[in-house]
Amino acid sequence: MANKVVIYDTTLRDGTQAENFNLSVEDKLRITLKLDELGIDFIEGGWPGSNPKDVEYFKEIKNYDLKHTKISAFGSTRMFSNPVDQDPNLQALIAADTQAITIFGKTWDIHVRDALRIELEDNLLIIEESLAYLRPHVEYLFYDAEHFFDGYKANREYAFKTIDRAVKGGADCLVLCDTNGGTLPTEIPAIIEDLKKHLAAQGTSIEIGIHAHNDSESAVANSLIAISMGATQVQGTTNGFGERCGNANLTSIIPALTLKMGYESNAGHNLTKLTEVSRFVTELANLPHNKYQPYVGMSAFAHKGGIHVSAVQRNPLTYEHIMPEKVGNNRRVLISDLSGKSNVLHKAKKFGMDLDSKDPIVSSIVKELKELENQGFQYEGAEASFELLMRKAMGTKKHYFDLHGFRVISQKDLDGVIREEATIRLAVGGEEVHTAALGNGPVNALDKALRKALTRFYPALHEIELEDYKVRVLASEHGTGAMVRVLIESRDPNARWGTVGVSHDIIEASWQALVDSITYKLMMDEKRK
């Protein structure tokens, strides 16, 4: 039977210390339920002694019936000036009424002297007394040995004394924290081995955990090595969110443990949900998902070079370390100036087009693609525009309207208010339409005018929402005369799609992307009928 690892997620506490990462109580509740679906063993809900939001979370989470996850409240050892039964922090932990409590204490002598400003022996006392006081009130009691690795390197003897007092206080698990994130993977084995020998000499049998930060880009590696050295609990956050450079990334650790190291965890049995959970957390935090993230990023199994694509189509193992489906992700073939026929054929199959590798149209598409990308077009985030390009080359792209002209006026009044107005002349089926619209900026005005002209003929255009709009300056040495690339992401109730436009004129580039977006929407609606 494989060794079991306990997965402890601290996204709701340590993760929220990340810059620009903010969650409401409702967000925290929804993330808890999602992590419970994944099978996370423990979720650290927050620090009830530090803010009202976390107190509210612990109150509300009791209204939910979790399938597997146990909730932990987090706090510190008592203040030296407070008796344990009068310490507000310890009382708040008990009042949270959770199945688990995690408290941290000082391991590094410099922190005892300079941060707490107490004697070394006094720190040992508050560690033991805090844990002993909490022990009867909770089912699971975890001790986070803050700055353990730095403390060990500075004063090994004292670091071990803090561990001994945590054991004496009744902790179920000693969690070794690389709080500053400066420990390297090469240092971990010897330190943990030394600790294990010390505990054995004391006749102590206790679980060990690991809590690593990522300031040296080593948090995942340090966590995996610690587990290989006998640690049975790993703490981290979903997507690695956390203070400064972040915490150990559980969305990398869990699949590595399961698929590569042979360890068992409840979350490891639900790996197909991993990508969904990862993206759910970033959505609720209102942050962009890191597309380059291992395992769960959009680019984790994306192939761009034609040689790579050709090989992957024959055998995915040639350029993929695991099958993307195992972690709920999917393989993507990108279209770019590196593309060959294999990329185009892969896309054709995805778009439902019948293309043969020997068809001269394939070579024509590849050639046009490379010419367009040389001009600044980019189709990696604009597959809808690329599908339209392919259909145009095959003669199957439908024409929904003809543009006769547009004009955009930006005017600043004496009162300082800026107003933009777009006027469009176009024809649908021989019927000419002339419309105008005001907008927040020239592109918004153009978008409104275009839709106003077309919705009488195509009412479904009311469903389109503009999700994202990005402008990239190309060859910036040309200053304000540089080419710009506009990427637009649109959605309707059924799908999301990206389109692109390139021009010296930002409004023209935006127009190209807008027209592709609307054309794609109309084409997809016809397909669904």
Domain assignment of residue 291, yes or no: no
Residue 400 token pair: 């929904």
Q: Which of 31, 64, 66 is closest to 45 using CA atoms?
A: 31
Joined tokens for residue 120: 């070394």
Q: How many domains does the chain have?
A: 4
- Cα–Cα distance between 275 and 296 in angstroms, integer? 5
* Inside any domain, residue 390: yes
Judgement on whether residues 326 and 410 belong to the same structural domain of the protein: no
H-state helical runs in 395-470: 442-454
Q: Are 190 and 159 contained in the same domain?
A: yes
pTM of this prediction exceeds 0.75: no
User: With the CA atoms of 27, 31, 32 and 38 taken in that order, what torsion angle do they form, in degrees rounded to the nearest 10?
Assistant: 170
Q: Residues 473, 380: one domain?
A: yes
Q: For position 417, which CATH number holds?
A: 3.30.160
Q: What phi and psi values does residue 502 have, to the nearest 5 degrees?
A: -135, 135
Q: Where are the beta strands (DSSP E) in 310-401?
A: 332-333
Scanning 376-505, the segments in alpha helix (DSSP H) are 383-394, 442-454
* Judgement on whether residues 270 and 321 belong to the same structural domain of the protein: no
In this prediction, residue 165 carries a pLDDT of: 98
Which pair of tokens denotes residue 222? 């340090």
297 in any annotated domain: no
Q: What CATH number is attached to the domain comprising 63?
A: 3.20.20.70
For 184, the domain range is 6-284
The whole-angstrom separation of Cα 42 and Cα 391 is 51
12-52 pLDDT, tens digit each: 999 999 998 999 999 999 999 999 999 999 999 999 978 89
In this structure, the dihedral spanned by the alpha carbons of residues 308, 314, 318 and 324, taken in order and rounded to 10 degrees, is 90
Residue type, position 286, single letter: N
Cβ(241)–Cβ(15) below 8 Å:
yes
Orientation of helix 25-38 relative to helix 274-284, angle to 10°: 180
Q: Give me the CATH number covering residue 478.
A: 3.30.160.340
| pLDDT-wise least confident of 120-124, 306-310, 342-346 | 306-310
Among candidates 214, 234, 182, which has minimal Cα distance to 40? 234
Asked if residue 524 belongs to a domain, the reply is: yes
39-43, 82-86, 398-402, 477-481 — which is least confidently predicted? Answer: 477-481
Distances in whole angstroms, Cα of residue 263 to Cα of each of 20, 68, 456: 34, 19, 60
pLDDT of 338: 47
Residues 142 and 272 in one domain: yes
Tell me: do 136 and 206 sit in the same domain. yes
- pLDDT, one tens digit per residue, over 141-158 is 999 999 999 999 999 999
Q: What is the pLDDT of residue 469?
A: 85
Mean pLDDT score, 391-406: 86
Q: Does 147 share its domain with 258?
A: yes
- pLDDT digit string, tens, across residues 173-211: 999 999 999 999 999 999 999 999 999 999 999 999 999
Instruction: Bin 181: left if φ > 0, else alpha if -120 < ψ < 50, else beta.
Output: left
Instruction: State the average pLDDT for the chain.
Output: 90
Pair (315, 410) in one structural domain:
no
